[in-house]
Chain A
Amino acid sequence: MDAEDSGEMRVIADYKGCQSSPKNGKGSCGSQAGQGDLPSEIWHKVKNHPCYSEEAHHHYARMHVGVAPACNIQCNYCNRKYDCANESRPGVVSEKLTPEQAVKKMLAVATRIPQLTVLGIAGPGDALANPKNTFKTFELIARAAPDIQLCLSTNGLDLPDHVDTISRYKIDHVTITINMIDPEIGARIYPWIFFNHKRYSGIEAAKILTIRQLQGLEMLTQRGVLCKINSVMIPGINDQHLIEVNKAVKSRGAFLHNIMPLISAPEHGTAFGLKGQRGPTAQELKALQDACEGQINMMRHCRQCRADAVGLLGEDRSGEFTTEKVMAMDVQYDLEARKVYQARIEDERAANIATSEELAELAGEMSEINLLAAVATKGSGLINEHFGHAREFHVYEISTSGVKLVGHRRVDVYCQGEYGEEDRLASIIRAINDCHAVFVAKIGGCPRDILINAGIEPVDQYAHGSIEKSAIGWFRDYLHKIKSGEILHVKRGEAAIPQELLISVA
């Protein structure tokens, strides 16, 4: 998962995400395509990174290589039979790779997915609890594919010891999972840590962890490494406390804060899951993210992807690139062809962003209405997915201030050609129940009627159009209809964050 001496650090922290909306100038990792007020050096690092730029995540792909199976801490939201829950969801297993296999895999992916810009190491354990494998992999990748950006994810316990190496290997992006700065809260999240050849537990463990995390963060930002902070929101344990965490990481120069919902289905066998600890609702998550906004850029497009994920953030193509398949592939790293392809993406990207004129037009409308809309998209910033084929919906907040991505909802694909469509539709409606509309490329008659009955307007008139521009157009019409008395604006209800695992479509 996201700066220099304190002077520069401040500048970066004050930069408002990827969007500044015309009205209140409040930032989020929204949708600004341009550099905005970001220093060139930072802009260069984030513009094509799908995790660090919401806008880039529509266009560019990342891959994780599972070269780091060992971990040095135990988290109550993780079951070590599976991957780390730092960045991966609990309950998934990644394929373990050697550094050499990881390079071969990266070359295979880059050959077939020219949008690939980022390679990360996010487990399945902790990247820095496996320093030999992690840094060997980065060394080999940098030699084989110098244009690929490197990033890693860590719990931060061993971070201070590796800061210089991270800097030397030109790892531009480091994600640290920080769930608390108060050891008493930490003791409820981490049963133990392994540090300096000793196992520590309880408050003592949490104290060491928080000191090391914050120290590591400060050391990285002083060296100009962009840091993203991941925090798992655990209702009743650290939910309100994350506002303090947000302030602490901002003051130490973190670039981006990503608050993720706890996933605690009992079948994943995590300590929290078995204890019946619940995760937050979509509203609770959004309210906390909103409360932290303005302090620092908030990431809203995280998919809590697995430690061997491949592709655009919303998709997982890891199944196409198993070790067995990769070893049989003929790969050629064609830097020039990749550059040509990515130049085309840049043109397409610029065309899909709402212009300042369009935004200004919206700002001219007078309304306090603020609503959510779900979008079925396959990427490129377009409404280009059928309702029945969508594996997830992007959720945008629309107001006269502009259009801002505030989350995404994973769902079971409605059209699977089997029985159970009714149940799946009901669960999709639960997942987007807080939305007034759902933008799709196409939708069948039956789900259309059921959505309308549930109070969600299916919108297909903007099929294959730009998400931002279409949302602005639709919202303008919506406001006009309210003004003319044709429709009545009603508040929507709560939505559930689906706990099911993403079905691999690869």
Chain B
Amino acid sequence: MPFKIIASQCTSCSACEPLCPNVAIWEKAGNFVIKPNKCTECIGDFHEPQCVAVCPVENTCVIDTSVPRSQASA
């Protein structure tokens, strides 16, 4: 399952964007969003998901349970 950013909590600080190994994070109209079909939860690249590790607001980058994990590797 990919990660998603809870828009209401995001400070738009942009810290996550350059860290994503899959270039899955985009700025859209002032908000940062994760493209679900590009997110791999950083598996294979890093020990921990980079967006989660750098995000200044706890529980803002969270698993998106509505999207099946299989899509992540698509």
Contact = CB atoms under 8 A, between A and B. Distances in A.
Contacts of A292: none
A129 interface: yes
Contacts of B46: 197-198
Interface residues of B, number: 15
Interface in B38-74: 46-48, 50, 53-54, 56-57
A80 B54 CA distance: 12
Interface stretch (A65-73, A478-486, A490-498): A65-73
Interface of B is mostly: loop
Given A70-B13, A71-B13, A197 B19 contact: yes
Contacts, number: 44
A448 to B, nearest CB: 47
Contacts of B15: 69-72, 125, 129, 194
A69 B13 contact: yes
Contacts of A112: none
Interface size class of A (residues with CB under 8 A): 10 to 19
Contact of B48 (A80, A81, A198): A198
Nearest to B12: A69
B57 A80 contact: yes
Interface string B16-55: 0011000000000000000000000000001110100110
Contacts of B47: 197-198
A199 interface: yes
Contact of B56 (A80, A96, A132, A198): A80
A125 B55 CA distance: 12
B13 A194 contact: no
Nearest to B15: A70
B43 to A, nearest CB: 14
Nearest to A199: B53
21 contacts: A69-B12, A69-B13, A69-B14, A69-B15, A70-B13, A70-B14, A70-B54, A71-B13, A71-B15, A71-B56, A80-B57, A81-B11, A81-B57, A124-B13, A125-B15, A130-B14, A197-B50, A198-B47, A199-B48, A199-B53, A199-B54
Interface of B: 11-15, 18-19, 46-48, 50, 53-54, 56-57
Q: Across chains A and B, which 5 residue pairs bring their CB atoms closest together, nearest first?
A: A70-B15, A80-B56, A199-B53, A69-B13, A194-B54
